[in-house]
Structure 1
Amino acid sequence: MAQAVLGVIGGSGVYDLPGLEEIREELIASPWGEPSDAVRIGRVGNTKVVFLPRHGRGHRLSPSDINYRANIDVLKRAGVTDIISVSACGSYKPELYPGLFVLVDQFVDRTYRRESSFFGKGCVAHVSMARPVGPRLQERIAEAAAAEGIEVRRGGTYVCMEGPQFSSYAESVTYRSLGFDVIGMTNMPEAKLAREAEITYATIAMVTDYDCWHSEHDDVDVAQVLEVVRTNAQKAARLVARVARDFPAEREPCPAGSHHALDHAIMTAPALRDPELVQKLDAVAGRVLERS
């Protein structure tokens, strides 16, 4: 297997990753457009880590304006094999309280303005999203949390709304009635694109609020979200650093199959593939395109 390289995508309030050593900054070009920012490449222990702030430093990009394809593409070009997404979210369960970290394992996509695939006309592919989170990567996060004394809850469904507005009350009670656990604005199509790029993906969802369904809590606002994020940013950095310190030197096969997600996924016959699109797919799908 290839060298393991840990990618970290920082969400709202997480624009840097303390603890990185031997840091260099690189603005990697992508055929899919501009990524959110330059990546910061460094080491934690013996593990190579690549950090990317999802909204850009200074929070320049709304959830709908993020170029998710470019972000995943540049992480792939930087050699990333596994991604930890650190994301703020609202909670639909009383026991998932603000300040808690939830390791979700399922997603529901309610976005509608975003490019959600690297593939399309000229090169069609279908990957499985049945198990979008890498079980072994999630296990490593849970083990690191236990070692650091950080409480996490494993499992749950993250519904991704378009935003940038927060939920209406009707939306909030509807999603809660459907059994969803948390809500956010950014993990879709990010998780889908990571899967297409054969990068193992896992989320640390930082609960910041109870959305607006809870009668005993104020409606969510930016000040409330940022207050909780600021309180927990160091805790999140400590958790990610612990995962990195204990990370294997070589990429582990993913039990959910993310490391070979494109096997048998491309439908378009080689002679009919659009050369321009194939060229753009060099990083994402080069492993399978080169042999077909």
Structure 2
Amino acid sequence: MSDDAVGETVLGVIGGSGLYDIDGLENTRWVKVTTPFGDPSDELLTGELAGRKLIFLPRHGRGHRIPPSELNFRANIHALKQLGVTEILSVSAVGSLKEHLPPGTFVVIDQFIDRTFAREKSFFGSGLVAHVALGHPVCGRLGDLIEETLAELDIPRQRRGTYMVMEGPQFSTIAESTLYRGWDCDVIGMTNMPEAKLAREAEMCYATVAMVTDYDCWHEEHDHVSVDAVIRVVVANAGKARALVSALAPKLALHEGPCAQGCHTALDNAIMTAPAHRDPAILEKLSLIVKRALGR
């Protein structure tokens, strides 16, 4: 197995359409990428920020065309991998499950509870089986750097938190929201699983910034929040997220090399299928994913 897991650090950003208008992003172009798992949500925006390569993927497509359950998560992650991304910053709008996390707060997630059920969750399957470790589902190294940057920007934040990922597209019932609060979840959304799982299988660092737009339906004031008020928070959050990306990207130049947490070597000892029983067609389909681990 090769230990040269990553060369130049390349930041990929997955988020809403309001995020890619980043000050200082130069030499931009939209690139169509086709993957063995189909097409990603949209073309990917490539550019340079402070001399560093940056890739942006509109998670739901430009214009927010694709609902959470219909996102091709495997194609999205694979497309980023194809373009050389090594670190993924996932930016997501969420509802708050905690009184002390009001709208406008950014939560740097460290745990997930995955309650989705209608999505393809792995690159692997029959013919090539793998089980990656997911005890720590996000990259702590990248999370620390994000928290440091948020502090410098004076953006309201919480360093750790649990993200409840629901299937959607409907929002929770009050009973469900109350249940998730009882599980000590901090925020709730619909998009970060299986995104985080697939990023780990693809040996990429992954971190989530969950941007609170409103309180979930458990809150007694929830029904009094107008759509206009939520939209104002969404617009403000997008501006803060752009500032975060602009400040974070140059810092990654100081953090070259393999991730000490092991994100870039996640497939070491994870592939279970014996060499003689590996399906050649699956190996070919997954060649980009497994080439470091299997020396292909």
Alpha-carbon separation, structure 2, partners of 1:62 and 1:83: 21
1:254 deviates by 2.4
Matching of residue 251 in structure 1 with residue 256 in structure 2: yes
Structure 1: runs of 5 or more not aligned: none
1:225 deviates by 4.3
Task: Give the aligned partner of residue 235 of structure 1.
Answer: 240
Task: Give the aligned partner of residue 48 of structure 1.
Answer: 53
175-184 or 148-157, which deviates more: 148-157
C-alpha spacing 1:29/1:196, structure 2 compared with 1 (3 Å): same
1:290 deviates by 2.8
C-alpha spacing 1:150/1:18, structure 2 compared with 1 (3 Å): same
Task: Give the aligned partner of residue 70 of structure 1.
Answer: 75
Alpha-carbon separation, structure 1, partners of 2:142 and 2:255: 13
3-state DSSP class of the match of 1:246?
helix
After TM superposition, the score normalised by the length of structure 2 is 0.93
Alpha-carbon separation, structure 2, partners of 1:190 and 1:14: 20
Q: Is residue 265–residue 293 contact of structure 2 (8 Å, CA) maintained in 1?
A: no
1:100 deviates by 0.6
Task: Give the aligned partner of residue 140 of structure 1.
Answer: 145
3-state DSSP class of the match of 1:248?
helix
Task: Give the aligned partner of residue 102 of structure 1.
Answer: 107
Alpha-carbon separation, structure 1, partners of 2:227 and 2:20: 20
Alpha-carbon separation, structure 2, partners of 1:186 and 1:73: 16
1:245 deviates by 2.0
Alpha-carbon separation, structure 1, partners of 2:262 and 2:252: 19
Alpha-carbon separation, structure 1, partners of 2:143 and 2:157: 11
Aligned amino acid, residue 18 of structure 1: I
Q: Is residue 32–residue 42 contact of structure 2 (8 Å, CA) maintained in 1?
A: yes
Q: Is residue 10–residue 52 contact of structure 2 (8 Å, CA) maintained in 1?
A: yes
Alpha-carbon separation, structure 2, partners of 1:264 and 1:165: 39
C-alpha spacing 1:44/1:195, structure 2 compared with 1 (3 Å): same
Aligned amino acid, residue 100 of structure 1: T
Q: Is residue 130–residue 271 contact of structure 2 (8 Å, CA) maintained in 1?
A: yes
Aligned amino acid, residue 230 of structure 1: V
2:20 to 16, 19, 43: 16
1:151 to 148, 156, 174: 156
Matching of residue 278 in structure 1 with residue 283 in structure 2: yes
Aligned length: 290
1:281 deviates by 0.7
1:22 deviates by 1.1
Aligned amino acid, residue 156 of structure 1: G
Matching of residue 90 in structure 1 with residue 95 in structure 2: yes
Matching of residue 38 in structure 1 with residue 38 in structure 2: no
Q: Is residue 212–residue 220 contact of structure 1 (8 Å, CA) maintained in 2?
A: no
Aligned amino acid, residue 106 of structure 1: Q
Q: Which runs of 4+ in 1 moved over 4 A?
A: 219-225
Q: Could you give the per-residue CA deviations for residues 23-65 of structure 1, whole angstroms, max 9, x where no partner exists?
A: 1221111010110011111111022110000000010100000
Aligned identity (percent) is 56
C-alpha spacing 1:289/1:180, structure 2 compared with 1 (3 Å): same
Alpha-carbon separation, structure 2, partners of 1:29 and 1:286: 19
Alpha-carbon separation, structure 2, partners of 1:215 and 1:58: 32
50-59 or 132-141, which deviates more: 132-141
Alpha-carbon separation, structure 1, partners of 2:225 and 2:85: 34
Equivalent runs, 1:185-204 vs 2, <5 Å: 185-204=190-209
Task: Give the aligned partner of residue 3 of structure 2.
Answer: none
Alpha-carbon separation, structure 2, partners of 1:197 and 1:110: 22
Structure 2: runs of 5 or more not aligned: 1-5
Aligned amino acid, residue 260 of structure 1: T
3-state DSSP class of the match of 2:242?
helix
1:87 deviates by 0.1
1:220 deviates by 7.4
3-state DSSP class of the match of 1:218?
helix
